[in-house]
Structure 1
Amino acid sequence: MATPVGAARFCLLAGRRVTSLSVRHRRAVSLPQRRCYISSSTGSNLQFRLDERTAHSSLDLFKKDTGVIYRMLGLDPSHVQDNPERFRDWAVVFGDQKISSGRHYWEVTVKKSGEFRLGVADAQMSREDCVGTNSSSWVFGYGQRKWFFMTSNKIVPVTLVGKPDRVGILVDYDAGLLELVDIEKPSIIHSIRVQFKAPLCPAFGLWDGELLTHSGLEEPEGLK
């Protein structure tokens, strides 16, 4: 569980950034090849957990690493195990599985959060960036009571009435599709075409409240 310490928290136009008063001098590092399983399934039942090695120090994982909760102060980054896979500046965490082919579906329950991002990112994406601010990540986000799609720091409004407690994410790697799903109907809320070129990981950003992931699910009928 995160231990509160003195910290400063501020926002940038491109995203939300979290830092500590006692952040150490950071050095440039190159990401090694991640030791995680590569999904070879062509179905929609990708099974993953959240990867603690990537989690920012303000994020606590729970429920056997399927959920994440945001702690405003979090841990002093100098007290978190130092590794090049961890996001040091942004409240981001990746799933522990890679997607390199096929059609995959998972759902996310949102609790007490007014600002979050859900989607996918290149497994080797720079840990200096926030998801949605570069060309290696594609996310649906919610902030200021509005939904949007974001990549390369460009925001596209998504028309959606209200904030559902649970939404679906559908990614078709081969077809180059990322879709936000209304699980109640079910139906596609918004669809984006992307030319994926590298293995992807489920990606999550969270700046208040908590998220619970539900993977290993079959895609709802009628979405194809």
Structure 2
Amino acid sequence: MGSTELRKELECPVCLTIYTDPVMLTCGHNFCRDCIDRALNTQKGSARYSCPECRKRFRSRPALQRNRKLCNIVQHFLPSQPYQESGLFCTYCIHAPVPAAKTCLLCDACLCEEHLWVHSKAPEHVLCDPTTSPETRKCSVHNKILEYYCTEDAACVCESCRLEELHVGHQVEKLDETSEKKKKQLRNVLQNLMTENEEVQQRVQNLEDRRRKTLEKATGETKRVTTLLRDLRRRLEELEKRVLGDICRQAKQVSLLYDDVIKQQELRKEELSRKMRHIKKLCNMTDPLTVLQESDTGDLYDTEDRHDKELHDGGDLDVAGISHTLHTGLADIMSGVNVCFCSQNAADIMLDGNTAGNKLLITDDRKAASWSDITWNGPDTPERFQDFPQVMSLQSFSSGQHHWEVHVGLSDSWRVGVCYPSIDRKGINGSLTGYNHKSWGLYRNGSWYSVVHGSTVIRLLQKISSDTVRIYLDCEAGQISFYELSIPIRHLHTFLATFTEPLHAVLCVWAGSVTLSAGN
């Protein structure tokens, strides 16, 4: 392993500098003791501890174990490494190139370990890490070493600059002191960035989990709907076979009946033809005696059709019976198959009169709220909305799926949605539904409709034609959806959020009245 790669292995992942008093967590990662202490102190407020590098979680604050072997490597190996990595060689070693350990800013010379030992005895010589451009560390005006930092001008200055008029009276600090302060600021910034990065990673993980759950739910619903429709098709096919079989059976019975009647009528037809021929023969005879004798047979005068009644009684399909079988079968299919998606309705949702604004009237069943010109001046309690005709529900929802409906047909200025119980009860922006981060709402103002959350208004392009809207809440999925109960039901908008408190239904009405009802 090269020295550069080895140096990388000896850098703390928090401060990105060489380890100072390295300690190890149980997950195997190493940090400076001060760095990991600050990181764990930051996590103390959330009562959740994790490794800044691999994010492994710990149930309690992890114990820090000193990594002695790593301490030895840092102490004994690193001091000889900087000059080996610089690629610079000692100015005074003229017979063979010897790696430089330091650069003297006073002499503008690179020094190896041997020359450095003699050179460093003089206090006026200022040493730094090996560099090819020592002039950058000197004052461009006085060609003196930059030793101070002017905090008012934010500039590095030399001893002569500090005493000149340009910086006289300014607060000046040693470069080392200012550098340490800057490092401390940078470490705080780094710690804040690490904390924010952890929060972002957690949000990404939450979103990934929600997406995975949504996809799993979609897969489950796809299977359920596919099974449902397959069962419906099977039942319909069975019903079709049964009804068509009944029709075919009746058709065969009627056909056989007609065949029998037709045969009888054919025989009757032959008998009538015989009689007609005999009568015509008699009518053409001239002998009266023969006419009288042969016409006295009784069957010539028998013209009654004895089969007409049988034909009329059973000569058609039982259409009423077929329709009854079909309708009964369809009713059995619909009652025997669950076609509803799983969702709990809010059948017992009621309004909390203690939260109602002084311009609202709540009905006795606590299902409807109406706006009044008269201020009824209810008790001035912390729960009551002071600036808007708004009211919350008694019930709250912290888990599961719920939906309820609001009849808004009697008002042309309303607002419905959900909110946290911690929503402000005073203030124009803090308490109005949607104009804060603690509530989500759908509202109508005259002829236009919008959804709003966190003061961000989204105008709906289509007008709501129905007088009823549905609110659907999925606590685990973090979804709040609004629907118009038209035919068919039309989706208006869905908000996605990570809920941190239970949710209440909330109504706000400036004209007319609105009514809560359970979902179907």
Give the TM interval when normalised to the shorter protein: 0.7 to 0.9
Q: CA deviation at 1:151?
A: 1.3
> CA 1:131/1:60 → structure 2, altered by over 3 Å: closer, same or farther?
same
Higher radius of gyration, 1 or 2:
2
Alpha-carbon offset, residue 72 of structure 1: 2.2
1:134-161 deviation line (CA, Å, top 9, x unaligned): 1000001111311111112221112322
Matched pairs, number: 173
% identity of equivalent residues: 25
1:133 has 2:435 as partner: yes
Measured in 1, the distance between the counterparts of 2:510 and 2:456 equals: 19
Deviation at 1:186, TM superposition (A): 2.2
Is 1:72–2:373 an aligned residue pair?
Answer: yes
Corresponding residue of 1:61: 362
CA shift for structure 1 position 200: 0.7
TM-aligned CA deviation for residue 189 of structure 1 = 2.1
Counterparts of 1:1-224 in structure 2, within 5 Å, are 43-46=343-346, 47-75=348-376, 77=377, 80-128=378-426, 129-184=431-486, 185-215=488-518, 217-218=519-520
CA shift in 2, pair 1:188/1:162, >3 Å: closer
Q: Give per-residue Cα distances to partners, 1:199-218, cap 9 Å, x unaligned.
A: 11001111111001002x34
Q: Which amino acid is 1:45 matched to?
A: N
Letter in 2 for 1:144: G
* Contact map agreement 1:72 1:208 (CA 8 A) in 2: no
CA root-mean-square deviation:
1.6
TM-score by length of 2: 0.32
C-alpha distance in 2, partners of 1:88/1:176?
29
Q: Any idea what SS the aligned residue of 2:345 has? A: coil
Higher strand share: 1
**What's the secondary structure of 1:97's corresponding residue?**
strand
TM superposition shift of 1:43: 4.1
RCO (CA 8 Å, sep 6+): is it higher in 1 or 2? 1
What displacement does 1:63 show?
4.8
User: Given the two structures, how large is their TM-score scaled by the length of structure 1?
Assistant: 0.73
Distance 1:104 1:160 in 2: 25
Structure 1 equivalent of residue 313 of structure 2: none
Query: Gaps spanning 5+ residues in structure 2: where?
Result: 1-341
Q: Distance in 1 between matches of 2:364 and 2:489?
A: 26
SS of residue matched to 2:394: coil
Q: For the residues of structure 1 that align with 2:344 and 2:445, how far apart are their CA atoms? A: 28
SS, match of residue 161 in structure 1: coil
Match of 2:351, SS state, is coil
